[in-house]
Chain A
Amino acid sequence: MAETSQPAPSARGAEMPRHETATLGRPAGTVSEDARRVKAAVLAGQRDKARDAFADLVGGYQRQATRLALYLLRDVTEADEAVQDAFVKVFTHIASYREDLPFEAWFTRILANTCRDRKKARRRRERWEVIGLDRNPEYGGRVENAPALTANPEEALLGDERRREMLKAIDALPERQRTVLLLCHAEGQSPRQVGELTGLNESTVRVHLFRALRKLRMALEGSRVRR
């Protein structure tokens, strides 16, 4: 972070997330190429070209972005809005994008900051809310009360009791451990990247990751024994 002037984390240690290629069917690096096209079109004042390139960029990175936002915010609606905000910010500041660095790192930092701002705003809102009143039961409001991943109706598609138990075990983890686990373990971010995203020390991230896996192992072992 410190070694670059770009408002994005350093690309060092950046690891292409496991699911980007598999989910989107686009080769790694295409997103950065799209970002370069957007920047060139914006600087050239070619509106239509910039829009088309940006549409490709959004389509290429959207799914991973929503996953990240969901892991950080634990609320589907808020994650949706955070991703929108992040992409709009990217387009607004595309001129400051450094083309020699991967787009993912830059975007992830923007998205993480957006999610952090939303979390802060949510905490401020909750401070003024009367607990139990005007609370939408679907979206909860509190992070702890936010619908867990296991509560989504789509979860039924998993159709596997074992998977449900796993999701339950993940949801039962303390918030920081769960976030670190999902970002490192599920999204393939390095502890350093996760530290930058969450504001935690890198070694703290490693400790959280280790504890999360150990708890997960114990929870799943326990459920297997109970069965």
Chain B
Amino acid sequence: MFAGKRHLDDSALIRRYLADRGLEALEAADESLLRHLVQCASCEARYIAIQRVFDESRDAAVDAADAAFPADRLAAQRERILRRIDAQYDGPRVIPFPAAAHAAQVLPPSALVRRWVAAAAVAGLIIGLTAGRLIPFSSSTSTDARRQPGAVPASAARPAPVMRSLHEEPVVDEEQLLFDVDLATAAPRAAELRAIYAFTLEESRDIPVRTVKH
């Protein structure tokens, strides 16, 4: 492959370099390469130059990579790794949902009793309302009336309380009113009510309070 008198090309020198570094095995045909290098000073000089260039490029690449990770960065990286390891030891911290956390709590017996009482009260209320709806407690007529379509309910038949203004004319009978007043004044503890009575009476006549003479 390589004639003894011909100079070696770069490919041959690179193969030799790789073989020297254990990265490639030389073939039997390459034996002449070794012989030529020993004999030819020019090729040997070129090989040494190539060797130096490759070695320098290797060192430059390694140094540049090391420069990208200075000592402080490596220290920080190491700290982060150890923190992650510690986190593995401690296990993941699970944050429960509020409901789950509440359910997970062990309640004291008193709280349990309170809860049972509250639940029983609610159940009783519901049962009572349901039963009130289903079971006829009142008279049959009112039940019949309730069951008849279009019938007026008992509550609607009752007269609604009327709010009267003080300035309105009294609707009730005058005789009856006087009778009621006499009855009220004759009753015990009426003395305490007199002032109120007088006050309301004066108010109804629109007389200022301070002009009232007792």
Which chain A residues have a beta carbon within 8 Å of chain B's beta carbons?
15, 19, 23, 47, 51, 54-55, 58-59, 62-63, 66-67, 70-71, 76, 79-80, 83-84, 87-88, 91-92, 149-150, 152, 154-155, 157-158, 160, 162-163, 166-167, 169-170, 182, 184-187, 190-191, 206, 209-210, 213-214, 216-218, 220
Contacts and interface: CB of A to CB of B under 8 A. Distances in A.
A114 to B, nearest CB: 13
Contact of A155 (B22, B54, B64, B69): B64
Interface string B189-205: 00000000000000000
Nearest to B14: A213
14 contacts: A51-B89, A54-B85, A63-B69, A67-B69, A84-B81, A88-B84, A152-B67, A154-B70, A158-B67, A167-B60, A170-B57, A170-B61, A182-B61, A214-B14
B54 A150 contact: no
Given A55-B82, A155-B64, A157-B67, A63 B24 contact: no
B74 interface: yes
B91 to A, nearest CB: 12
A59 B73 CA distance: 12
B26 to A, nearest CB: 12
A91 B88 contact: yes
Contacts of A66: 65, 68-69, 74, 77
Given A19-B62, A51-B85, A213-B18, A206 B24 contact: yes
Contacts of B81: 58, 84, 87-88
B74 A154 contact: no
B15 interface: yes
B176 to A, nearest CB: 92
Contacts of A158: 60, 63-64, 67
B38 interface: no
A170 B15 CA distance: 19
Contacts, number: 136
A79 B58 CA distance: 20
Given A88-B84, A214-B14, A154 B68 contact: yes
A149 B82 contact: no
Given A209-B18, A213-B14, A214-B14, A186 B23 contact: no
Contact of B69 (A55, A71, A76, A184): A76
A141 B24 CA distance: 35
Q: For A55, A66, A160, A213, which residue has the most chain B Cβ atoms within 10 angstroms? A: A213
Contacts of A91: 85, 88
B2 to A, nearest CB: 16
Contact of A62 (B15, B61, B77): B77
Contact of A58 (B56, B57, B82): B82
Q: For B10, B54, B68, B70, which residue has the most chain A Cβ atoms within 10 angstroms? A: B68
A63 B74 contact: yes
Contacts of A216: 53-54, 57
Interface in B109-126: none
Contacts of A213: 14, 17-18, 54
A112 to B, nearest CB: 16
